[in-house]
Amino acid sequence: MKFLNIFWNRELRRLRLVPRLLLYVLFYLLSYIGLSILVKLTGAFSITGSLITSGIIEATLTLLVVWSAGKLLDRRPFAGFGFHLNRRWFEDLCFGLALGAGLMAVIFLFEWAMGWISITEFFGTNTMYSFIPTRAFFWGQFFQALVFYFLAAFSEELFFRAYPFINLLEGFQKIKIKRELVAWLAAGLTSAVFGLAHMGNPHATWISTLNIFFAGLMLCIGFIYSKQAALSIGLHFTWNFFQGVIFGFPISGTISPANLIRINQQGPELFTGGSFGPEAGLVGLAAMLLGSFLIIRYLKRRQTFEEQPS
């Protein structure tokens, strides 16, 4: 029985932290492999080729995995992973949306002022077709990218932060240190996985991996101080969308299907991130540090305001 106690929490009637997380990852991998086999057998390549469709599939798969893991492994409702939807939740979402767009605008304006980038054209598309795309074609690609990057941000926040962070935070409660330090420990572990998961991206380097780790920490701050996913989803979405679609930067080594502004980047890669994008450069890292400061300030000021007597 003592051996079983290593894996089973009799008081909560569920698996302990480590086997829960391992089964969660295994469940996701098996679901992903099963879906890939189904797509291959049915020949649904043309369907999944759409950005919007692939985004919906990824988001639905991740949502089902997190919901199922919460129900079967955690005995926790889906709302417990940072989705207590109320007015404050949507306020945090809006703040995250504004912050992601603002930070990327700061990066663009700084590099442009330094002479590291030049604007080559507007309304550009990246397509395999040989004909010159029309303006209508651009807006079609733009809309697809808008939906896709939101769904991708939602999926990544669910998979990399919502489920593992809440579980790690709960599992580390027995450590006799302050709750805030426990939360940062959980954030560090999830961010390390987040960074390593991007090592396979095109043009990835050890610098980009380290910077993605810091990006993960920035995205965890909303969970640390509010236990809600809203701010992180909003920030993740607009950071990527404005990075690739609006300002024409690479997005973690990948190229957006549409660029409102197309640029030629010539600055030092140590600062700009080169072909990987701003996440691999010192300018991007500085923006992450600024963003982290602004998030903490926003959440602590809101908490102070709410604690004031009416």
Q: What count of Cα atoms within 13 Å lies in the side-chain half-sphere of residue 117?
A: 25
pLDDT tens for the 310 residues of the chain, in order? 555 556 666 666 777 888 889 999 998 998 888 877 776 666 554 444 578 888 888 899 999 999 999 999 998 999 999 999 999 999 999 999 999 999 999 999 999 999 999 999 898 887 655 455 677 888 888 999 999 999 999 999 999 999 999 999 888 877 777 778 888 999 999 999 999 999 999 999 999 999 999 999 999 999 998 889 999 999 999 999 999 999 999 999 998 988 999 999 888 999 999 999 999 999 999 999 999 999 999 998 877 555 444 3
| Contact partners, residue 180, CB within 8 Å, separation at least 6 | 224
Q: What is the pTM of this model?
A: 0.90
The CA distance from 27 to 25, in Å, is 5
Residues for the chain: how many in total?
A: 310
The CA distance from 16 to 310, in Å, is 42
The CA distance from 226 to 31, in Å, is 30
Q: Are strands 8-9 and 14-15 parallel, antiparallel or unpaired?
A: antiparallel
Domain boundaries, the chain: 83-307
The CA distance from 102 to 287, in Å, is 10
| Contact partners, residue 132, CB within 8 Å, separation at least 6 | none
- Find, among 130, 118, 46, 150, the residue nearest to 266 by Cα: 118
pLDDT number for residue 81: 94
